[in-house]
Structure 1
Amino acid sequence: MRHSKAADVLELARRMAASAEGVSIAEIMADYDMQRRTAERLRDAVVALFPQTEEVSEWPGKRWRIRGGLSAFEQAPTTEELVELTKAVQLLRAQGEPVRAAALEGLERKLKTAIRSTTLNRLAPDLEALVRAETIAVQAGPRPTADESQLAQIRQAVLAGQPLGFIYSRPGAEPRRRSVAPCGVMFGRANYLVAADRESGRIQTFRLDRMSAVKAEEGTAAPPVDFDLQVFASQSFGIYQDEIEDVVLQITSEGADEARAWRWHPTQTVEDQDDGSVIVRFRASGMRELAWHLFTWGEQVRIIQPTRLKAVMAGELDAAGRALKAVEA
């Protein structure tokens, strides 16, 4: 068996051991980008090497899992995996997320404790060298905050299907007591609770740094049965959710290479034009955040549609001009 095939077998065994539900043939095909027969041979190789593999019959198909986990030898992390974990901790701390950084640091310590001392001694020099050679470039912007007790209450309410109560304070408005059905949390340039109004079912977002007295309440309050947090997050260019619109942008030839490599949105398409420019299309909400981003492209971008994005862009330019005049006055 070639080295790459052996690595695939071991990786699939790890996936089977890490999943309580097991792994299906369809998931193997998708994860390893292979045809069904090849996926079946890979599964058979895992079953042959790990006799404790269980077959679980579940509609509409079968799944395979390994109960009891794998040995420390089979689970030893690589240098690259440990480096990425360390960098993830550094990034969270640099972004002002000490609570989440501490959770990952705890996982890092547990992993290193579980590794045999001989293996850890072998990994240590390369790990230290790579950590010194790679760092995080922190972008300017708001520092998200997430209080440990706040996150604990949100997670309790999500897991138990309980209402979440809190006081929400917006600039220029009176603080208001809210009680919602929590759907989850979106972490980013600012951290947001995503929740459903308990009466209308309308999905709303709340900045965590504007929430206080957060507490899981008695009773039940589940999000809509068809709600998907990942789908909800991908609808917007940033965080703010409003009307979803078809966005069409033209990037000049000077910025075309960068535009092709840029991830604008999960629904994007990029079309080359005869003059060297590119047309970028996607469907999204959050026109204000998109307008803010387009400022960074300067004269290299032209808004073709929607009209509302043009209006938002013009409004932001007017606001910036008024602010500049006020400073100069």
Structure 2
Amino acid sequence: MRHEKGEALLRLALAMQAARAGLTLRDIEERFEVGRRTAMRMRDAVLRVFPQAIETEGDDRQKRWHIPPGTLDRLVGSLSADDLAVLQSAVRLMEDQNRAVEAARLAQISQTLRDLMRPDHARRVEPDVDALLEAEGLACRPGPRPKLDPEVVLALREALKAGVAVRLTYGSRRNPTPTPRVVHPYGVLHGHRHYLVGHQSDPPVAESPRLYSLPRITAIEPLTRPAERDPDFDLAAFARRAFGVYQEDPQDVVWRFTPQAAEEAKRFTFHPDQTHEDAPDGSLIVRFRAGGLLEMAWHLYTWGDGVEVLAPPGLAEMVNPHRRAWDAMP
């Protein structure tokens, strides 16, 4: 416990040095999830060790404390935006897999590294970090993972960061022979299949945005022309339209988990916007709105007869007749 308190004080000192305007007591409360008295004790402990800390009062009449740059040893060199974005993506991945402990630890490491960066370098890379995180959505599902060409992934990341269009050599299922096309990338969705989300301008297509399977991209060339992008497009909202990655028109989905399976189902987040209710008989009703019925069916088969599809009818026809005994499922 003492080591944990010491670590928290060190992170607070780093944060006080990184925050150019300084930290208020409210900032300390929110960052470390503590009450006002604990925040005051933490602040006082840091000020005793670093008496050179500067106290200021802002226009809002709140006091702030800032440790001058260079006071603490620089333990980290010049991290790139890609380095920080990869760490934050790992945090999201852990959260998506309900690994809260690992997610919190990675988030703490990421914040500590940010606090250690030189302020001028941090200001330069922060916009790139935000752009990279905005461009990536996570929709992870269990199962096999396709092989990806690292050069394709790296080129896509560079294009997203630079905000430029790319020329893909791409073969679809309908046309397996790879052909060139110009795509304006919006972002990447990761799952049991990985897709580039983008707008195709050459040859022009009516559907936008489209999905491009990353394993089917055999070559990629970032262009000098800026990427054209709908300013109202939201990648996170686009990802939530689907249960997994495959996009189709969203439908109202209702599942009923039996009393025997209800407790297990409560440990799952099936969709970010889901709601659930406990029925009088002990069963669990889960509701959300999304497309991707086939991917839903694949997942629901793993629940055997522990789940019944109440809506939509098309999904019920796919799942309900093929259920196996719940107690026989792994």
Contact kept in structure 1, 2:53 and 2:65, CA below 8 Å: no
Contact kept in structure 2, 1:10 and 1:74, CA below 8 Å: no
Aligned-partner Cα distance in 2 for 1:270–1:17: 44
Aligned-partner Cα distance in 2 for 1:227–1:29: 35
What does residue 221 of structure 1 align with? 227
What does residue 170 of structure 2 align with? 168
What does residue 273 of structure 1 align with? 279
Alignment CA distance shift 1:181-1:295 (3 Å): same
Alignment CA distance shift 1:49-1:205 (3 Å): farther
Deviations 1:304-327 (A, max 9, x none): 12234335547x96xxxxxxxxxx
Aligned-partner Cα distance in 1 for 2:146–2:23: 36
Cα drift, residue 144 of structure 1:
2.4
Residue 181 (1) aligns with residue 181 (2): no
Residue 249 (1) aligns with residue 255 (2): yes
Contact kept in structure 1, 2:297 and 2:319, CA below 8 Å: yes
Alignment CA distance shift 1:248-1:74 (3 Å): same
Residue 145 (1) aligns with residue 110 (2): no
Cα drift, residue 244 of structure 1:
2.3
SS in 1 for 2:157: helix
Alignment CA distance shift 1:250-1:179 (3 Å): same
Cα drift, residue 214 of structure 1:
0.8
Deviations 1:90-116 (A, max 9, x none): x9xxxxxxxxxxxxxxxxxxx9xxxxx
SS in 1 for 2:164: coil
Unaligned runs of 5+ in 2: 78-86, 94-112, 114-140, 323-330
Alignment CA distance shift 1:45-1:240 (3 Å): farther
What does residue 302 of structure 2 align with? 296
Contact kept in structure 2, 1:24 and 1:63, CA below 8 Å: yes
Alignment CA distance shift 1:259-1:64 (3 Å): farther
Contact kept in structure 1, 2:240 and 2:272, CA below 8 Å: yes
What does residue 11 of structure 2 align with? 11
Contact kept in structure 2, 1:54 and 1:65, CA below 8 Å: no
Aligned-partner Cα distance in 2 for 1:146–1:184: 16
Alignment CA distance shift 1:173-1:256 (3 Å): same
What does residue 158 of structure 1 align with? 160
Contact kept in structure 2, 1:145 and 1:190, CA below 8 Å: no
TM-score (norm 1): 0.60
Deviations 1:35-68 (A, max 9, x none): 678667756765665557898x99xx99979755
Alignment equivalent of 2:194, drawn from 168, 191, 196: 191
Contact kept in structure 2, 1:18 and 1:69, CA below 8 Å: no
SS in 2 for 1:267: coil
The count of aligned residue pairs is 256
What does residue 327 of structure 2 align with? none
Aligned-partner Cα distance in 2 for 1:296–1:273: 22
RMSD: 4.5
Aligned-partner Cα distance in 1 for 2:230–2:21: 24
Residues 27-42 of structure 1 correspond to what in structure 2 (within 5 A)? 30-34=30-34
What does residue 267 of structure 2 align with? 261
Contact kept in structure 1, 2:196 and 2:212, CA below 8 Å: yes
Aligned-partner Cα distance in 1 for 2:295–2:311: 15
Cα drift, residue 168 of structure 1:
1.9
Cα drift, residue 300 of structure 1:
1.0
Cα drift, residue 156 of structure 1:
1.6
Identical pairs, percent: 38
Cα drift, residue 71 of structure 1:
3.1
Cα drift, residue 177 of structure 1:
2.6
Alignment CA distance shift 1:201-1:251 (3 Å): same
Residues 295-314 of structure 1 correspond to what in structure 2 (within 5 A)? 295-313=301-319
SS in 1 for 2:252: strand
Contact kept in structure 2, 1:52 and 1:67, CA below 8 Å: no
What does residue 232 of structure 1 align with? 238
Contact kept in structure 2, 1:24 and 1:64, CA below 8 Å: no
Cα drift, residue 273 of structure 1:
1.5
Alignment CA distance shift 1:54-1:185 (3 Å): farther
